């Protein structure tokens, strides 16, 4: 394997790579760097994300850059703001011992700042297509001097509908230039671009054309369409350490699935284009830090996220384009890890699966949706494993021990172990008692005990037909992590002055609570988000602390007012009840005759903590 020096890179670049700990080139770098250094021929490089593509195109460009000229010599186009910033940072790292000006241009940030940066002088522009076109139209960005055009993640740019923008940008560049196109896959739309805008390109590939990662197994679960969500929950329960992305087709579906998961007690959140940039950054940050286990996302929004350790990619719906499936599944099985890509499908989608198999050159393996018994067993051992690894804080627990000993000190060891384990385990047993078989295939019904009684099945199906906005009694459909209403007294119900109009959803509220309490394991009950305000329930042991901490909080600049709400009963759903709630709230506002419980709204003078 050659070194970077042997590939012909100059000393300043080799030193910068050394500082970054890059010892040897990756396969795509080994192929692309000499090609771009030695020849002016256009290049198509096929490689999955995470293979070192950024250095593969930036190093030979930096090597040949004229750092005495202030002209724009290279434009790199990429699909998202996050990738744009990542590429810019990487190039700055590679060029740290050189005199190179890079400017990132992307939407959602001040265009004036970007214009000023371009006017100060930029030799390399890294841009998203929309903002780049905007700057060209304003005659700020002139690309007649560029020697290199890089199209990074070209397949994604086309999937995201940037074809017209790309054509506008390419038309602005001179005839004499080298175009470097990087893509994980090679759909027809890319081939068309290469035919129209590239000149006899050389093709290099690593890992084979259109092939998924070798480390990924492809599984599918065949269920009735209405059972997809239930199947998703069972998969999450069967894999207590799951760290994965659940791909949905639309923004709406993404939000709905994430909301349901959160309400059912799963550690999940949504990522899609209807969220503000700040909200997306927060969600991605929490996922990267493993504060979230399941990220429910659209393809487009997930583009900005580069995480190596995913255990699972779950296709809640198969994408329209087979290439997109390959891209999704390539997000797991990275960095030498094994990964599983799951498709939850119904009967009519089998044909689509076969198409993808042909492209992947790999078979999907039919899996059985885990039975309730299998899940309970898995959860039981997971609880035991957690217990055995639990660290005991002797000092903190000491003051409580005498009373604890008085209450349970008489129990023998075996009895105590059983009770301790049951404390967590019973909710799974209860939830999965009589759980029905979800498999919609011939081999589905393995375990007769796993089937529900006739009445139970009909009950669930009836409910399914009415949609999933049932009122009371709905709780049997909640996840095992959800709680029942009969322990509502353990919870304190709060009213908070932010709602849907402030961009709030159940996940944001849970994030808010965690942030204020600086704890992640406090139990949160029912959450109801209305237009301008919301309700949520919280473990009563934390009620006072919550009120105290929230005094100085704000949401997107709006001071938070958190008060204890009157009712601690189950939250109603359905339009009528919501309207009643609103009426009650009106009467209950400060300044009205209704008495309020809880803390006074905070004074505006205090410094508030954002969330
Ligand atoms: P990329 O595909 O450019 O996003 O790179 C994926 C990851 O690999 C990034 O974290 C890079 O910093 C890292 N990387 C790229 N090239 C090398 C190399 N030659 N040696 C070690 N790490 C690398």
Concatenated DSSP letters of 368-407:
PPPPHHHHHHHHHHHHHHHHHHPPP-HHHHGGGHHHHHHH
Q: What residues are paired with 367 via a beta bridge? A: 221
> Percent of the chain at pLDDT above 90?
37
Whole-angstrom Cα distance, residue 573 to residue 258?
A: 18
> Which residue minimizes the CA distance to atom 16 of ligand 1?
52
> Which residue minimizes the CA distance to atom 4 of ligand 1?
50
Measuring from each residue's beta carbon to the nearest atom of ligand 1, which residues come in under 6 Å?
22, 25-26, 29, 49-55
Q: Which atom of ligand 1 is nearest to the CA of 4?
A: 19
Question: Looking at per-residue confidence, does 188 or 114 come out higher?
Answer: 114
pLDDT at 361 over 80: yes
> Which residue minimizes the CA distance to atom 14 of ligand 1?
52
Work out the number of other CB atoms within 10 angstroms of the CB of residue 521: 7
Position 482 scores a pLDDT of 54
Q: What residues are paired with 77 via a beta bridge? A: 127, 151
Question: Looking at per-residue confidence, does 304 or 599 come out higher?
Answer: 304
Cα-to-centroid distance, 344 and ligand 1 (Å): 32
Position 575 scores a pLDDT of 33
Angle subtended at Cα 264 by Cα 262 and Cα 266, rounded to the nearest 5 degrees: 55
Of the listed ranges 272-276, 444-448, 583-587, the one predicted with least confidence: 583-587
Cα-to-centroid distance, 91 and ligand 1 (Å): 12
Position 38 scores a pLDDT of 93
> Which residue minimizes the CA distance to atom 1 of ligand 1?
52
Q: Give the mutation target among 9, 14, 26 for probing the ligand 1 site: most ligand atoms within 8 A of CB.
A: 26
> Which residue minimizes the CA distance to atom 21 of ligand 1?
22
Read off the tokens for 301: 């929004």
Q: Give the mutation target among 27, 54, 336 for probing the ligand 1 site: most ligand atoms within 8 A of CB.
A: 54
Q: Which of 473, 441, 232, 266 is closest to 353 using CA atoms?
A: 441
Read off the tokens for 63: 């090597």
Whole-angstrom Cα distance, residue 518 to residue 253?
A: 30
Cα-to-centroid distance, 52 and ligand 1 (Å): 4
pLDDT band per the 50, 70, 90 thresholds, residue 302 = confident
Cα-to-centroid distance, 282 and ligand 1 (Å): 24
pLDDT at 228 over 70: yes
Q: What average pLDDT does the segment 93-98 reach?
A: 95
Q: Give the mutation target among 55, 57, 94, 331 for probing the ligand 1 site: most ligand atoms within 8 A of CB.
A: 55
Position 465 scores a pLDDT of 33
Cα-to-centroid distance, 269 and ligand 1 (Å): 28
Cα-to-centroid distance, 308 and ligand 1 (Å): 11
Read off the tokens for 114: 């970007």
Position 122 scores a pLDDT of 95
Both ends of the chain: CA-CA distance in Å? 49
pLDDT at 597 over 50: no
Strands 244-247 and 294-297: parallel
| Alpha-helical runs (H) found in 121-187 | 129-137, 154-159, 163-172
Question: Looking at per-residue confidence, does 521 or 455 come out higher?
Answer: 521
Q: What average pLDDT does the segment 456-475 reach?
A: 30
Of the listed ranges 31-40, 130-139, 456-465, the one predicted with least confidence: 456-465
Position 550 scores a pLDDT of 87
Question: Looking at per-residue confidence, does 55 or 454 come out higher?
Answer: 55
pLDDT band per the 50, 70, 90 thresholds, residue 464 = very low
Position 277 scores a pLDDT of 81
Condensed to tens digits (0 to 9), the pLDDT of residues 174-187 reads 999 999 999 887 77
Cα-to-centroid distance, 320 and ligand 1 (Å): 30
Whole-angstrom Cα distance, residue 314 to residue 318?
A: 10
> Which residue minimizes the CA distance to atom 11 of ligand 1?
52
Answer for the pair 540, 487: CB distance below 8 angstroms, yes or no: no
Q: Which atom of ligand 1 is nearest to the CA of 26?
A: 19
Position 159 scores a pLDDT of 73
Per mean pLDDT, which of 142-151, 192-201, 461-470 is the most reliable? 142-151
Q: What are the residues whose beta carbons fall under 8 Å from the beta carbon of 36, sequence distance 6 or more? A: 43, 57, 60, 61, 178, 180
What does the DSSP 8-state code read for residue 336? T
Cα-to-centroid distance, 94 and ligand 1 (Å): 11
Cα-to-centroid distance, 31 and ligand 1 (Å): 15
pLDDT at 576 over 80: no
Cα-to-centroid distance, 20 and ligand 1 (Å): 10
Q: Which of 314, 265, 335 is closest to 26 using CA atoms?
A: 335
Per mean pLDDT, which of 1-5, 189-193, 295-299, 550-554 is the most reliable? 295-299
The Cβ-side half-sphere exposure at 598, using a 13 Å CA radius, reads: 28
Average pLDDT of the chain to the nearest whole number: 80
Read off the tokens for 481: 């992590």
Whole-angstrom Cα distance, residue 277 to residue 262?
A: 21
Position 255 scores a pLDDT of 93
pLDDT band per the 50, 70, 90 thresholds, residue 304 = low
Q: What average pLDDT does the segment 34-62 reach?
A: 91
Is residue 466 within a helix (H) or strand (E), and if so which, with residue range?
none
Answer for the pair 507, 262: CB distance below 8 angstroms, yes or no: yes
Q: Which atom of ligand 1 is nearest to the CA of 24?
A: 19
Answer for the pair 269, 245: CB distance below 8 angstroms, yes or no: no
Position 286 scores a pLDDT of 93
Alpha-carbon torsion (329, 332, 333, 339), positive or negative: negative
Helical pair 53-63 and 81-94, crossing angle rounded to 10 deg: 50
Q: Give the mutation target among 52, 96, 206 for probing the ligand 1 site: most ligand atoms within 8 A of CB.
A: 52
Helical pair 277-288 and 506-517, crossing angle rounded to 10 deg: 60
Q: In what order do the strands lie in the sheet with 553-555?
A: 558-559, 553-555, 609-610
Question: Looking at per-residue confidence, does 117 or 307 come out higher?
Answer: 117
Per mean pLDDT, which of 71-80, 155-164, 425-434, 540-549 is the most reliable? 71-80
| Alpha-helical runs (H) found in 433-562 | 454-465, 506-517, 543-550
Cα-to-centroid distance, 128 and ligand 1 (Å): 21
Q: Which atom of ligand 1 is nearest to the CA of 47?
A: 2
Sole residue written with tokens 């704890």: 519
Position 146 scores a pLDDT of 97
Cα-to-centroid distance, 328 and ligand 1 (Å): 19
Answer for the pair 506, 529: CB distance below 8 angstroms, yes or no: yes
The Cβ-side half-sphere exposure at 38, using a 13 Å CA radius, reads: 9
Condensed to tens digits (0 to 9), the pLDDT of residues 233-259 reads 999 999 988 999 999 988 889 999 999
Q: What average pLDDT does the segment 503-511 reach?
A: 85
pLDDT at 198 over 50: yes
Q: Which atom of ligand 1 is nearest to the CA of 49?
A: 2
Position 320 scores a pLDDT of 82
24 phi, psi to nearest 5 deg = -130, 155
> Which residue minimizes the CA distance to atom 8 of ligand 1?
52
Q: Which atom of ligand 1 is nearest to the CA of 23?
A: 20
Cα-to-centroid distance, 25 and ligand 1 (Å): 9
> Which residue minimizes the CA distance to atom 19 of ligand 1?
25
Condensed to tens digits (0 to 9), the pLDDT of residues 51-79 reads 789 999 999 999 999 989 999 999 999 98
pLDDT at 428 over 50: yes
Residues in the chain: 611
Q: Which domains does the chain have, with CATH numbers?
A: 5-205 (3.40.50.300), 216-369 (3.40.50.300), 373-431 (no CATH), 472-588 (3.30.70.330)
Position 479 scores a pLDDT of 60
pLDDT band per the 50, 70, 90 thresholds, residue 552 = confident
Cα-to-centroid distance, 388 and ligand 1 (Å): 38
Position 455 scores a pLDDT of 34
Sole residue written with tokens 């790199």: 76
pLDDT band per the 50, 70, 90 thresholds, residue 324 = confident
Largest CA distance in the chain: 87
């Amino acid at each position: 394997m050659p070194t970077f020096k042997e590939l012909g890179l100059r000393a300043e670049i080799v030193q910068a790579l050394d500082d970054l700990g890059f010892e040897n080139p990756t396969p795509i770098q080994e192929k692309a760097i000499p090609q771009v250094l030695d020849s002016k021929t256009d290049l198509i490089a096929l490689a999955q994300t995470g293979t070192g593509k950024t250095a593969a195109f930036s190093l030979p460009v930096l090597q040949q850059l004229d750092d005495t000229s202030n002209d724009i010599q290279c434009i790199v186009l990429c699909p998202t703001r996050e990738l744009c910033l990542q590429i810019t940072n990487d190039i700055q790292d590679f060029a740290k011992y050189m005199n190179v000006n890079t400017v990132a241009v992307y939407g959602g940030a001040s265009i004036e700042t970007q214009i000023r940066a371009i006017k100060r002088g930029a030799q390399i522009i890294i841009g998203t297509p929309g903002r780049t076109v905007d700057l060209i139209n304003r005659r700020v960005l002139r690309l007649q001097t560029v020697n290199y055009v890089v199209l990074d993640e070209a397949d994604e740019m086309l999937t995201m509908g940037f074809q017209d923008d790309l054509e506008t940008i390419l038309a602005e560049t001179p005839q004499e230039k080298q175009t470097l196109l990087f893509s994980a896959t090679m759909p027809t739309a890319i081939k068309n671009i290469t035919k129209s805008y590239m000149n006899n390109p050389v093709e290099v590939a690593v890992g084979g054309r259109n092939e998924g990662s070798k480390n990924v197994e492809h599984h599918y679960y065949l269920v009735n369409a209405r059972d997809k969500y239930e199947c998703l929950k069972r998969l999450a329960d069967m894999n207590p350490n799951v760290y994965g992305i659940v791909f949905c087709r639309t923004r709406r579906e993404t939000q709905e699935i994430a909301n349901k998961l959160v309400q059912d007690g799963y550690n999940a959140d949504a990522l899609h284009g209807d969220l503000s940039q700040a909200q997306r950054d927060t969600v991605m940050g929490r996922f990267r830090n493993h504060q979230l286990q399941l990220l429910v996302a659209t393809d487009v929004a997930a583009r900005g996220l580069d995480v190596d350790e995913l255990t699972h990619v779950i296709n809640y719906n198969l994408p329209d384009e087979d290439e997109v499936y390959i891209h999704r599944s390539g997000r797991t099985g990275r960095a030498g890890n094994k990964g599983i890509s799951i498709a939850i499908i119904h009967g009519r989608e089998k044909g689509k699966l076969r198409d993808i198999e042909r492209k992947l050159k790999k078979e999907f393996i039919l899996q059985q949706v885990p039975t309730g018994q299998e899940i309970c067993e898995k959860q039981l051992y997971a609880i035991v494993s957690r217990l055995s690894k639990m660290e005991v804080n002797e000092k903190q627990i000491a003051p409580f021990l005498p009373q604890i000993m008085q209450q349970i000190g008489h129990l023998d060891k075996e009895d105590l172990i059983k009770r301790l384990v049951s404390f967590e385990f019973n909710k799974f047993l209860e939830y999965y008692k009589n759980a029905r078989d979800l498999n919609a295939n011939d081999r589905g019904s393995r375990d007769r005990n796993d089937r529900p009684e006739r009445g139970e099945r009909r009950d669930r199906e009836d409910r399914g037909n009415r949609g999933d906005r049932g009122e009371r009694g709905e709780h049997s459909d909640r996840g095992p992590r959800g709680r029942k209403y009969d322990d509502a007294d353990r919870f304190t119900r709060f009213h908070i002055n932010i709602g849907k109009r402030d961009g709030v959803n159940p996940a944001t509220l849970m994030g808010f609570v965690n942030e204020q309490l600086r704890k992640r394991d406090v139990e949160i009950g029912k959450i109801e988000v209305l237009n301008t305000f919301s309700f949520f329930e919280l473990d009563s042991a934390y009620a006072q602390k919550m009120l105290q901490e929230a005094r100085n909080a704000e949401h997107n600049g709006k001071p938070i007012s958190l008060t204890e709400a009157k009712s601690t009963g189950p939250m109603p759903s359905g339009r009528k009840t919501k309207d009643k709630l609103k009426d009650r709230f009106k009467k209950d506002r400060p300044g009205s005759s209704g008495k309020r419980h809880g803390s006074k709204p905070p004074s505006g003078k205090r410094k508030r903590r954002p969330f």
